[in-house]
Every structure is written in C-alpha cells, then in structure tokens.
Structure 1
Amino acid sequence: MDPRSEVVIRQEDHLQGRVLFINAPNDQLISNLSSDIDSYIWTWNYADFISFEKNNYKVHFGTELPTESFDQVVVFVPKSKELLNYILDCIVSKFQLNTQIFLVGEKKSGVERAAKQLQEFGKCIKLDSARHCQFWQMSLGIIKKATSLEKWTKNYEIQINDQIVKIYALPGVFSQAKLDIGTAVLLPYLQQVKSGKIADFGCGAGVIACYLAKLNPENCVYALDVDAFALHSTRLTFEHNGIDPAQFNILPVANFSDAPTELDAIVSNPPFHQGIHTNYDASEGLCKLAKRHLKSKGELWIVANRFLNYPILIEQNFGQCKVVTDQNGFKVLYASV
C-alpha cells in the first residue's frame, strides 16, 4: 500500500461523514477505512479511475470538483505546485467555513511546501509524520469565488517552418510553460509522417496533435492521454488554433491498448513519469503494441531520451527501427509495418 495511504489510515479517527479524497493513490485505502466513513474519490488519472470503478469505489474523473456535497476533504499532494493551488481554489469556493481539510504527502514530494500553501486558507496543524510522509489538518477560514479553469492556463506560441501553433496548458500538464526539448527535436520531422488517421499518444497540451492537424486538413487526429488536465489542455489548444472539430478526437486512455486501431500513423513523445516517480509501463507498452494498431504500411514515430531502450523494443516488434536523428540528448525513432 502507498505510504501516504498508510498515514491516512493511522489518522482515520479524524475522518467522519462523507469524505472526498482528491488525487488518491490507486491502492486499497478505501477498503481499509472504517465503514462509517463514506468515501468518494476525485481523480484526473484515467487508469486509476478505471481501477477504482472495478473496485466499486465512488469516483469522479475530470478537471473539476464533483458536484456532490462533502463533510471533509483529504488532498494527496500533486507534483505540481500550481495544480495544488488550483485544487485549493476549488475547495475554498465550494466548502463552508470550518470544514476540515487534510493534506497528505511524501516529504520528497514537497509536502512541507504544500502545507505552507494550505496555511493561506486557515489554521493549519501537523497531525502526523510517518512513513516518510506528513499529514496536516486545516480548518477552512476563507471562502471566495472560484477562478474559472481556463484562467489557470499558461499559453505560448511556437513556430515550425511556416506554421504557428498556439499552446494552451493547464497546471500539472507536461511542458506547461514552454516547449520541451524532446518535442522540439521531433517537430521538424512531422511533415514526413504518413497522412490519414493519426494518433498522438500522451498528447499533453496538444503540441504534436495540433501541428499534425494543421499540416493537412485531411488528417484525422486522435489525441490520447491518461490525464484529464492534459486532455482539456489539448482541446483548448485545438480550439484556439481554429482546428475543425471534425478533424480531431480527444480520448482518455488507461494505456496504449485503449488506442484506436487501423491507424495510418502513431506519433508520440511518450510519458515516463507518474507523479514524482518514474514509470516506463505506458511508453514500453506503446513500443510493444503499436504494430497491432497500425494499418499495412502504417508508421510509428517516437522521440525519446537517447539512454532509453526503445529502439530495442521497437525492433523486437517491428523487425526494424531507424534512428532518424540524435540531437540534444534525444533520438527520433521510426518504424513501419
């Protein structure tokens, strides 16, 4: 079990009534709490959402608070400081004065910094420090009107050849404030991608997907991500670039096996982080399964850190893997069916 969940269980006597667990880890926390606690989870991770549903937990997937009413809230500290600010803004705009808000996180994830953010909204005390985690309690002392989700975006423009793409990204989304190096290495080669039905796996703020849509109005682009904030960001990016809604589909996926089939091309700057932890499952799954989702003569284009073993995995499944370029610590990899 996640150590943060273990700390929550240690302190469950402080929990009562209907409790909203925000960003809870995908484990058996809810099953191990007293039956007197009416638990409800808000997650923006689609894989976790599917798992929680299978366990018959009450769960909401999305970028905004569930509409139900709650007596208390437990926030599991997210990696992004800005995302925590957004979550706290949601809380202080919905809950009543003196509502008990709890914060739990690993020390290495910045829980002490997060507790300082919490202190802006009411009296805050540390209840526990164990399992390399801390558990804080705050009595809500401020109520204010919510800031609209779109106002939390950061936006910037990038130019690739003769195309300008406007990027809109919400808190916690990869490359929120500026273009990342890996995507910058990949973008100049996207003009070579086979046209047609294309999937961008791990779409983030929609940089790759939007550029592919702009390159050819005949392209039908599927933007895939596990994260609700990424999917919402991609939608904003498409809309602000004037992309015809008929040209794109934005889909939550738990892993690459959820991707559409009969694709002409798959393009990805694949994710390998989950929160503060490194996790290669999604990206390695892409390398292993991509061929099954492609048409005959379909293409796979990936950009990845040069130290990762993706070329080996791709060659094992496609029979070949071409290194298109190797620069700035990243390789662009290509394979075809």
Structure 2
Amino acid sequence: MNRLLTPPGELDLVRFPVDPRADLRAWDAADEYVLRELGGVDLSGAVVVLGDRWGALTTALAAYRPTLVTDSHLAMEATRENLRRAGVAPEDVRLLTTQDVPPDVIDVLVVRVPKSLALLEDQLHRLAPATHAGTVVVGTGMVKEIHTSTLELFERILGPTRTSLAERKARLIHCVPDPALVRPANPWPRTHALPADVGAVSGLTVTNHAGVFSAERLDIGTRFLLQHLPVRSGAEHVVDLGCGNGVVGLAAALGNPAAEVTFVDESFQAVASAEATVRANAPQVKTHFLVRDGLVGQPPASVDLVLNNPPFHVHQATGDATAWRMFTAARAALRPGGELWVVGNRHLGYHVKLRKLFGSCDLVASNPKFVILRAVRTGVLR
C-alpha cells in the first residue's frame, strides 16, 4: 500500500515517472522517523527541506509552506505530482534547484541525507548563511547512509552535531547551528584535467559541481567510450544522454564541428557542470542544455546519434528501469538510420534489451569490465 500515515492524514504518494506496476514506495523509514520528530517542533517559521527523495516530506509539511531544495528533476516532478494528489495549491510550496539562490532565512532545516557526501557538503555551505542560533536542523537517513564523515560535515559547516538511536534501520541527525563558527570555503565546483588518451578532449579541463558522477576524475566507463567514439561529419543532431559533466558530448562536438549537440540529465548539478565544461572549452559549438527525464518528450525522428552511459542505481535501489526508459525514449527520438551508442558493465546485459527494442545490436568494443554497443533505428516503433 503506497500510503504514508502523517499527522495531517494519509498521503497517497508516488515516484516519478508514475508507474502503476512499480512496487517501490515513495518514502521509507527515515522519512517516517523525521516526520514524527517534527511533530514536536515549532514549524511556524521558514521551513526548508533539502534533498527530499520523492516529495514525501515536502507534501507532509505542505501546511507550513516549505521550500524544497533538490538536485533532481525527477524528485521535483514527483513532488509536484504528490502535492497535486494531496490537494495542495502549487503556490503553497516553493521549489528550488540546488543551483538556485538559496533562501535568505531558515528557521527549520530538514535534510534528507543524499548518497553523495560532496552534494551534502556543497548544499550545507550554501544554506548555512541563512541559519541562525535558533534554527532547528534535523537530518534523516537510513543507518547505512549516515557515516562519521556525514556528521563531521554538519559539525564543520553548521555546528555541534549528534545522532539519535536507530529505529527500523533509520537514524536522525540533530545539529545546533553556531553563528560564531568559522566555516571553511566551499570547495565546489572543482575542476580536473582529462588524460591524454581520450581523443578530441585529451588534456582539456572539466568542471564538476558537487554530486556529479565521478567528479574527481574521469570514470573508466566514460574513458572507454571516449576512446571508441564514432567518427562523424556533417550537420547532425547529437544527444549526450545522461550527460554528467558533459565530456562525451564535448568530444562529439569537437570531433564534428558541424554537429548540434544537446546535453540532457535529470540532475541540475550535472547540466550546470556540462554547460560550464563546454563554455570553457568550445564556446563556438551549437549546444543545448536540458534538465529533464532523458529524451522523454523529444520530438520523434529528430536525433541522429545518442551517446549514453546509463546509471543502474537510483538511491539505494539497483536495476535497469532507468536504462530501459533511456533506451526506449532514445529509439523514439532517433531518425531512421540514427544510432544509439551505449557503454555499460558487461554483466548488465544491455545487448538483450537493445536487441528487443531495435531488432539488432552490434558489439563495437569490449574489455574485461565494459562493452560498447551500437543499435540502429530502423522501421517504425513497435
């Protein structure tokens, strides 16, 4: 049953995109734990929720007109849908991205601890100036998500921090902001130079905002793809799908200056990283930067080449649902003869799904850990 029991009543909550067949709930024990804790907190001031996974916390606190800060387009859309289901007027909740200007004042800060410690560090730095001695700060997460390093971040950026006892494998973080605390500088965004053996982008400098996949160095899967990118020429529309910091799309743009390249990711931090990377290295190329659910909504038959390194986990859940959605939308967006190039771990078996969707799938390159696959759009959608 996908209903969360809260003091205001039961909430019918969903993840986004909404899938009636999915059995994953839109909240967990950490959300329930912090909502019980907030029952004893004065919420009449400015309430900010950081990192709500699917909008459960924001929807449950909607009566207090909270502000949500999130890096995830999918989380933001899930929140909008859950607010709609709860009958909450859109203007009653303020939705901000992690790239937006943060609130001026925060009286209650609820932090859903993210998987990325770097993203938590960056966002605490950004929100800390709005806190004061009376701000109530409560973090929440599953026990396996809260580490000593997590608590150290709260201590270093906000003030004295302690944890609660665990309940149903969830834990709370209590932090008391110290206005006199001298904070270190926010180290994000960061840059690093690419290695010398990755084609058109060799030696270039990449910008990474906090939370972006492999922000410290080039990941080995992307490196493998860069070493085997197709050689293309002429006017065409290329999409870097799940672009991260944009190095794959940048390589495609530099390899074919006549191409138009679209960078797409559901992370606001990722798209900001891609835009900064491209602007610094190739301001002359024709580019678009989009935060959305992959290629869902892209006009049919409008793309010539899609380059993709799909994720296989969402928060703590692993699976191929995200990759399947990416592949399906990519096929719909490709023109006849258009190509989808995918790099993935060998054990994920993406070739099976690509053959089912496209009718065939070619192995471009492989090594002991990764494969690069090529699927060509032919015929009409099935």
Q: TM-score of the superposition, structure 1-length normalised?
A: 0.90
Cα distance in 2 for partners of 1:67, 1:92 equals: 10
Cα offset, 1:268, TM superposition: 0.7
Q: Which amino acid aligns with 1:140?
A: P
| 1:182-236, Cα deviation, whole Å (9 max, x unpaired) | 1111112213357510111110011101111111111111000000111111011
Please show how residues 220-239 of structure 1 align to structure 2 within 5 Å.
Answer: 220-239=260-279
Cα distance in 1 for partners of 2:213, 2:298 equals: 20
Cα offset, 1:65, TM superposition: 4.7
The equivalent residue for 1:58 is 94
Are the counterparts in 2 of residues 204 and 225 from structure 1 also a CA contact under 8 Å? yes
The equivalent residue for 1:3 is 29
| 1:274-306, Cα deviation, whole Å (9 max, x unpaired) | 234324322111223322111121111000111
The equivalent residue for 2:12 is none
Cα offset, 1:163, TM superposition: 4.5
Cα distance in 2 for partners of 1:162, 1:264 equals: 20
Q: Which of 274, 286, 292 lines up with 1:247 in the alignment?
A: 286
Q: Which of 2, 8, 19 lines up with 2:47 in the alignment?
A: 19
The equivalent residue for 2:226 is 187
Task: Select the structure that is richer in strand.
Answer: 1
Q: Which of 39, 50, 53 lines up with 2:66 in the alignment?
A: 39
The equivalent residue for 1:87 is 123
Distance 1:146 1:73, change over 3 A: farther
> Which structure has more RCO (C-alpha within 8 Å, separation ≥ 6)?
1
Cα distance in 1 for partners of 2:154, 2:137 equals: 9
The equivalent residue for 2:16 is none
Cα distance in 2 for partners of 1:31, 1:167 equals: 37
Q: Which of 184, 188, 211 lines up with 1:172 in the alignment?
A: 211
Q: Which of 153, 162, 176 lines up with 1:125 in the alignment?
A: 162
Q: Which amino acid aligns with 1:5?
A: D
Are the counterparts in 2 of residues 43 and 61 from structure 1 also a CA contact under 8 Å? yes
Give % identity: 23
Distance 1:30 1:67, change over 3 A: closer
Provide runs of 4+ in structure 1 moved above 6 Å.
none
Cα-Cα RMSD:
2.3
| 1:102-135, Cα deviation, whole Å (9 max, x unpaired) | 1111111134431222122322233452121211
Q: Which of 326, 333, 336 lines up with 2:373 in the alignment?
A: 333
Cα distance in 2 for partners of 1:27, 1:161 equals: 42
Distance 1:111 1:7, change over 3 A: farther
Q: Which amino acid aligns with 1:80?
A: S
- Between 177-186 and 49-58, the greater mean CA deviation after superposition: 49-58
Distance 1:19 1:127, change over 3 A: farther
Cα distance in 2 for partners of 1:90, 1:277 equals: 28
**Any stretches of 5+ residues in structure 1 without a counterpart?**
none
Cα distance in 1 for partners of 2:104, 2:294 equals: 29
**Any stretches of 5+ residues in structure 2 without a counterpart?**
1-26, 84-89, 378-382
Distance 1:145 1:249, change over 3 A: farther
SS of the aligned residue for 2:250 comes to helix
The equivalent residue for 2:58 is 30
Q: Does 1:292 align with 2:332?
A: yes
Cα offset, 1:148, TM superposition: 6.7
Q: TM-score of the superposition, structure 2-length normalised?
A: 0.80
Q: Does 1:257 align with 2:296?
A: yes
- Between 102-111 and 192-201, the greater mean CA deviation after superposition: 192-201
Cα distance in 2 for partners of 1:162, 1:231 equals: 21
Distance 1:111 1:130, change over 3 A: farther
Are the counterparts in 2 of residues 191 and 215 from structure 1 also a CA contact under 8 Å? no
The equivalent residue for 2:348 is 308
Are the counterparts in 2 of residues 93 and 146 from structure 1 also a CA contact under 8 Å? no
Q: Does 1:136 align with 2:173?
A: yes
Equivalent pairs, count: 334
The equivalent residue for 2:21 is none
Q: Which of 92, 97, 113 lines up with 1:77 in the alignment?
A: 113
Cα offset, 1:20, TM superposition: 0.4
